[in-house]
Structure 1
Amino acid sequence: MANIIIKGAKQNNLKNISVEIPKHKLTVFTGRSGSGKSSLVFSTIAAESERLLNETYSTYIQNQLTQYEKPDVDAIYHLPVSMVISQKRLGGNSRSTVGTISDIYSAVRLLWSRVGEPFVAYSNEFSFNNPAGMCETCHGLGYVEDIDVDELLDYDKSLNEHAIQFPTFGPDHWRGKRYTLSGLFDNDKKLKDYTKDEMEILLYTEPMKLKDAPDKWPKTAKFEGVIHRFRRNFLINDGFEKNRWLSEVNRVVTEKTCPDCHGKRLNSKILSCKIKGLDIADFTSMTIRENIQFLDSIDHPTASYIIKPLRTQLQSLVDIGLGYLTLARETPTLSGGESQRIKLIRHLNSPLTDLVYIIDEPSVGLHPEDIKNINRIIQSIRDKGNTVLVVEHDPDIIKIADHIIDIGPGAGRDGGTITFEGSYPELLESDTATGRALREQHQLRRAREPQDFIHLGPISRNNLHDISVDIPKQMITAVTGVAGSGKSTLIKTGFRHMDQTIIIDQKPVHASNRSNLLTYTDIFDEVRAFFSKETGLKKSLFSYNSDGACPNCNGKGVLKTELAYMPDFSQVCEVCHGTRYKEEVLAATVDGYSIADVLRLTVDEGVAYFSHHDKITETLQSLQATGLGYMTLGQSLDTLSGGEVQRVKLSKYLIEQVRDHIFIFDEPTTGLHEEDIHVLIDLFNRLVDDGNTVILIEHNLTMMTAADWIIDMGPGAGQDGGRLLYSGPAAGLLDIQDSYTAQHLKHYIK
């Protein structure tokens, strides 16, 4: 079988590389963060496979599909159709659940419709998304939205003082004027002094024509109470207005369990059908492990035909460490790691072979114990006759590779070359960043002595029942345990309303391709002022979002041409050549560099260029300290990975030199090469030395060895977890018999 051959790959930072990838093998791509792994695997191999497959469809169909530009590569030979399994969270809304996204709920509906008693409907009507099956009160959502009047009104104010606490309901706004101009109220009277009748008119009047309306009242307008108007504008119409004021809507609107179906989403007719005393919603609210036990207890000739494949699907979820989930769990609440594993399950039972599966860091969000299950799945996909390409940093996944390709030697411009090809034993011997990191011997750090503690609890939430714990101040604490054991629930619930707490997670910053590293760190203004002072041009000319924008592309750097039913065509702007700026701006240079040249500098290069400008240098050095020295100053924020986003957020606090705060990091090692983890460890120690407390929700064993204190949750996930197994100095964890973390950590430091 011919290998996949790539010749002359130059995408992003790739330096004209050529490589062969063996088919029907598991190849792991390693290298420092930003070295070019994703540029080769996703932006070149996956993108070209998707693009070529799309070209086989009609132009009409192509227009409905995601568009892929041709990657910068000379040639790719023997390329199979690709299946990309990314870390992107499963989207959807509250109507999308683990059961519906995995298609397991279809089999569950079939089981209840055929075996449940009494017979009430066919399987389609057992869906909470079907009008015939859904609860009429909540329309299948399981909850109803209600308006918290006490959040909406300030009773100590009058209508003229903006007593209706919501944008557009002020006395000078059009919605607010519908009350102040109605003639029904004393506009200077405090709401707390309203009679019961006055309050009823203000809030609950149904739309009506006003008799003897004042002159200023719009002739065709109807008067309606605040609650009616708010419900119509912001709850029933779920569109632009709601999204525009979303944070305010969330403040005023509360969700309550549906009073009719009690959160079960289905109507009483469907819920009356039961198997062994359970309705279908009872079943989907049990954990997947409990589902299997329940199915094993059913003895019915028709049921066995449906149960056998259903049980296999459920067992697959258990096998990848998701047995703690329920089929009713809404997909937007799943983590990136959980989403990725559910996507993997879809392919596990697929009869298709000879594909290339491209998997992005399957270790994300996983404890070493869970990684054993992921490894089995990846190997079984390969063993069915597929080629599997994995981008990964985790030593336990690198270890099972048939073939390893290391890209480096550094990141950004210092990366983009092939530094190693071969087997795992050969990688261990190699002089690469990955080889050195894998050879490193690990020991527990000499722990600091606790001086004071923060008390959390008792906490009862999700799978935690009455859990209390003390966390030492001004130390590094790692909170460990398998995925779903209760780590995040413990920390995020415990610190929810605590002052001086900073949670740094991987949620993307709200960004477009017009925002970059400099805009996020608030120094683009300084950079523009620097260029203005040195060149004599006005500051606004150095913004591609303002006066300096190239008139041809309006500061975008690219032009998109819509070709009717054919795919949109994008090309670099031929006037500014992708720089985004006007010609006169590009002609203005400082020390031989234009503003566009500066945006192409890496953070490391920027530190040298701005060496005499303290504020800019200080900010860039804080980015450097988080290991982001390889990123370019003009890099769009919407291109950052989750781990990179987290480190950009952290850099802001390093600039401010925050003290006496509690920093909570949610899996800070995500996307980080083992050699880069030491950069983070140094940062965390710096935060503690400055008088801060650092708490890490973490699975990485290297990071655990750097902690002063460990809190271990478990032993398992979901109902099998939620217990506090250990809290104390890191060394003491090694003696805990039923801790999976202890077993792996003990092995790691040997």
Structure 2
Amino acid sequence: MNNIIIKGARQNNLKNITLEIPKNKLTVFTGRSGSGKSSLVFSTIAAESERLLNETYSSYIQYQLTQYAKPDVDVIRNLPVSMVISQKRLGGNSRSTVGTISDIYSAVRLLWSRVGTPFVAYSTEFSFNNPVGMCETCQGLGYVEDINVDELLDYDKSLNEHAINFPTFGPGHWRGKRYTFSGLFDNDKKLKDYTKEEMETLLYTEPKKLKDAPEKWPKTAKYEGVIPRFRRNFLINDGFEKKRWLTEVNRVVTEMPCPVCHGKRLNDRILSAKINGLDIADFTRLTIHEAIQFLDDVHDDKAAYIIKPLRAQLQSLIDIGLGYLTLGRETPTLSGGESQRIKLIRHLNSPLTDLVYIIDEPSVGLHPEDIKNINEIIRSIRDKGNTVLVVEHDPDIIKTADHIVDIGPGAGKNGGTITFEGSYNELLASDTATGHALRRHHQLKEARTPEAFIKLKNITKNNLKNVSVDIPQHVITAVTGVAGSGKSTLIKTGFKNKEHTIFIDQKPVHASNRSNLLTYTAIFDEIRAFFSRETGLKKSLFSYNSDGACPNCHGKGVLKTELAYMADFTQICEVCNGTRYRPEVLAATVDGYSIADVLKLTVEEGIDYFKEHEVITETLQSLAATGLGYMTLGQSLDTLSGGEVQRVKLSKYLIDTVTDRTFIFDEPTTGLHEEDIHVLITLFNRLVDDGNTVILIEHNLTMMTAADWIIDMGPEAGQHGGRLLYSGPPAGLLDVEESYTADHLSNYLELERI
């Protein structure tokens, strides 16, 4: 019972893996990107634990829970209940904040209800989600939305020319016809020529029946002005249509602080209660560092029992490098790394033990200085009697492991086997990609000398106060500093409106499981045309979203049966065997491959298969150049990690030579093994050699050694950061005494700092 025993794991690319994982220890899983680490830890161990736990509930409860298919594994024994701490961003809306999601705001509400003067309410009413406490004007949101009429209307056009500048209000769309068929307007008259009365009728009329309505007008319909209709459909209703047209809605709708509560979310009665001059909303606007200082000055005997645990909760946020956040920060604005760390502290004080905690790359978004605290938290979770499994590339986290499992040797079909099990020192001596990377000695490159600069002047935002810096052109610049020091704010604000700037971030590509690598790179059309020419079948048959879809599963590859209050039953389609296509399409092959067989090829195998087709191979080669050669051509975009998404986006700019652009990458090494980072370094140098500027917001020390220039922000986070500590060639940073980056870079280069 001292080990978790896994036999015959074949999920995804795993090659019949058998292993034992020690309980009550910290085990780190390493290996090249795409080697199969996640397939083993998340898709096999975590999925089976969740599935078995769900089966203990009633059918009604199971119906409400996330459904997990049984992973492809023969046996898993001695498996504890799992707690998965992923990089998935915390969801929610503007009503969900750091304070509410961490449950710290509950203690804050209790404090203000007991100590705030004058006494105005009990703690529940200090919630901006409580109708009694919220500001009536903004309903506790802190902002109001309004429609920018000048964005919604094109005054130089008539209704017949799509003057209502929104997709669903065109003259051919049913919403647009409610105006062109109303008989109230000259449909060819430019809006700029409308009388005041005509414009009022078009925009602001409340729903009313039309007298003597034209023949085309629906008999039961009411006429309604554009503004109330738009507000009802896209502001009040937060459903499918708003999500579908979100970019257009964001263009038309403007947010502004609530004119009554000025963004504080609560009503005047609740805000009148103060402690040392601050109302509860003022407190949630303090950084965590400032909040602790504030609590240290609250001297009230009856508050001591509230303040002590509250202070401990706030200190936990500081310990994981989030002291720069505020309790009022909305959770949708948090990065994946920030979200993950907040999830971590929610488990820190949990009385539950004998669990298996499964953590996905806790180093993401963290400076080496912050990783020391993360290691302490992970060890403390282990020391409470839990088993901790971590998927990680960062050497500092690998080093703290009790046990290490390396998976490889390569990626995709070239991975999926266990190449090493043992201690850190044994891994260092091993003949594995991870062992080679950890043994490598590092040195600074011979830096390019810049000849021209982009000047960023007087930037004041978040914790930046009047910061100016010159960014060199046609070189690689790494922007460094601890999490929350102001790196992203400096670059994103400074380049926001600059021409020829390309931001390549890790935000997911908007896609469903019907979108794949080929649809995103726009070569699926070419491949379908190729199969059509070679087989004589029409092109649309080679799309599983069109005529080629299997009639049984409609191109999904699986059949889902809803069983009332029991869990949905999902099975592979027996007609197409999960390939998504009609039998006659699967029977049409080129060189022995059907279209479904091609979708199973890796990018590297696809290059070989399509070697005679330049348009296709150029795109596939650009994907392979970013290190994604292991991905299959049919891989759904919704399964890509943040780092993989970023590299797919980058690949589009490698097909044809681009020049005179500024490329900005936000932590491009996310999810990358140290051996794969050099692939990116090669690409960045290629972009510079082609006449571009490359700027990296980055924590990775290997990437810093590849930079021509370093801009270091800090020295710490939040109010203790936001200063420019250094800008220049990397070697000069090592002399900056207050720089945490300099400390860690010196250690990495095995140099002694004076």
The two structures have a TM-score, normalised by structure 1, of 0.97
Counterpart of 1:340, as a letter, is Q
C-alpha separation in 2, matches of 1:205 and 1:66: 45
Q: What do the CA deviations read for 1:334-373 (whole angstroms, capped 9, x no partner)? A: 0000000000001101111111111000000000011011
Where does 1:671-710 land on structure 2 (aligned, <5 Å)? 671-710=671-710
The one-letter code sitting in structure 1 at the alignment partner of 2:270 is I
Give yes or no for the alignment of 1:604 onto 2:608. Answer: no
Q: How far off is 1:425 after superposition?
A: 0.7
The offset of 1:247, in angstroms, is 1.8
Q: What amino acid sits opposite 2:475 in the alignment?
A: M
1:290-301 aligned at under 5 Å gives the runs 290-301=290-301
Alignment partners' CA distance in 2, 1:646 and 1:168: 32
Q: Which amino acid aligns with 2:90?
A: L
Greater alpha carbon shift after TM alignment, 447-456 vs 228-237 = 228-237
| Counterpart position of 2:233 | 233
Q: 1:571 to 1:452 in 2, by over 3 A?
A: same
What amino acid is aligned across from residue 62 of structure 2 in structure 1? Answer: Q
In the aligned structure 1, how far is the partner of 2:4 from the partner of 2:214? 79
Displacement after TM superposition at 1:616 (Å)? 1.4
2:242 & 2:597 partners in 1: Cα distance? Answer: 41
Aligned to 2:164: 164
Whether 2:79 is the aligned partner of 1:62: answer no
Q: 1 CA distance for matches of 2:130 and 2:656?
A: 53
Pair 185,321 (structure 1): closer, same or farther in 2 beyond 3 Å: same
Structure 2 residue 436 is the aligned partner of structure 1 residue 426: no
Quote the RMSD (CA, aligned, Å).
1.7
The 5-angstrom pairing of residues 87-486 of structure 1 reads 87-180=87-180, 182=182, 184-209=184-209, 221-486=221-486
The letter of the residue matching 1:743 is: D
CA distance in 1, matches of 2:101, 2:340: 12
- SS of alignment partner, residue 627 of structure 1: coil
Indicate how the Cα distance of structure 1 residues 578 and 285 shifts in structure 2: closer, same or farther if over 3 A, else same: same
Shift of 1:530: 1.9
Percent identity over paired residues = 84
1:694–1:172 Cα change, 3 Å: same
- Pairing 1:570-609 to 2, within 5 Å after superposition: 570-609=570-609
Q: Which residue of 1 aligns with 2:543?
A: 543
What is the CA–CA distance in structure 1 between the aligned matches of 2:421 and 2:524, rounded to whole Å? 41
Q: Map residues 599-748 of structure 1 onto 2, 5 A cutoff.
A: 599-748=599-748
User: CA offsets, 1:220-278, max 9 Å, x none?
Assistant: 55444332332223222222332333222211111010010010000111001111111
Q: Which moved more, 1:572-581 or 1:646-655?
A: 572-581
Letter in 2 for 1:466: N
Counterparts of 2:369 and 2:250, CA distance in 1? 38
* Structure 1: gaps of 5 or more residues: none
Task: Give the match for residue 522 of structure 1.
Answer: 522
**Cα displacement (A) at 1:557:** 1.8
For 2:406, what is the secondary structure of its paired residue?
strand
Evaluate the alpha carbon distance shift between residue 77 and residue 219 of structure 1 in structure 2; reply closer, same or farther with a 3 A threshold.
closer
* 1:57 Cα offset (Å): 1.1
How far did 1:540 drift?
Answer: 2.2
Deviates more, 1:495-504 or 1:666-675: 495-504
Segment drifting more, 431-440 vs 200-209: 200-209
Distance 1:179 1:76, change over 3 A: closer
Helix, strand or coil: the match of 2:389?
A: strand
Deviations 1:282-320, CA, capped at 9 Å, x for gaps: 101111111111111111111001111111101100111
The verdict on how the C-alpha distance between 1:279 and 1:682 changes in structure 2, with shifts beyond 3 A counting, is: same
Given the superposition, is the C-alpha separation of residues 221 and 638 from structure 1 closer, same or farther in structure 2, using an over 3 Å criterion? closer
Deviation at 1:154, TM superposition (A): 2.5
Pair 556,188 (structure 1): closer, same or farther in 2 beyond 3 Å = closer
Deviation string, structure 1 residues 141-181 (Cα, Å, up to 9, x no partner): 00001111221222333444433322343445444444455
Distance 1:154 1:594 in 2: 50
Equivalent AA in structure 1 for residue 68 of structure 2: Y
Question: Residue 533 of structure 1 aligns with which residue?
Answer: 533
- Given the alignment of the two structures, is residue 563 of structure 1 paired with residue 583 of structure 2, yes or no? no
1:262, 1:318 → 2: CA distance?
28
Amino acid at match of 1:556: K
C-alpha distance 311-609 of structure 1, shift in aligned 2 (>3 A): same
Q: Report what 1:32 is aligned to.
A: 32
| 3-state SS of 1:656 partner | coil
One-letter code of the match for 1:277?
G
| Amino acid in the other structure paired with 1:524 | F
Q: CA deviation at 1:188?
A: 4.6
Question: Counterparts of 1:394 and 1:692 in 2: how far apart (Å)?
Answer: 29
Write the distance in 2 (CA, Å) between the matches of 1:194 and 1:418. 74
Given the superposition, is the C-alpha separation of residues 174 and 422 from structure 1 closer, same or farther in structure 2, using an over 3 Å criterion?
Answer: closer
List per-residue Cα deviations over 1:367-405 (Å, max 9, x = no partner): 001101100100111111111110000000001001111
User: Structure 2 counterpart of 1:68, which letter?
Assistant: Y
Q: Provide closer, same or farther for how the CA distance between residues 396 and 124 of structure 1 changes in structure 2, counting only shifts above 3 A.
A: same
Q: Distance in 2 between matches of 1:159 and 1:514?
A: 36
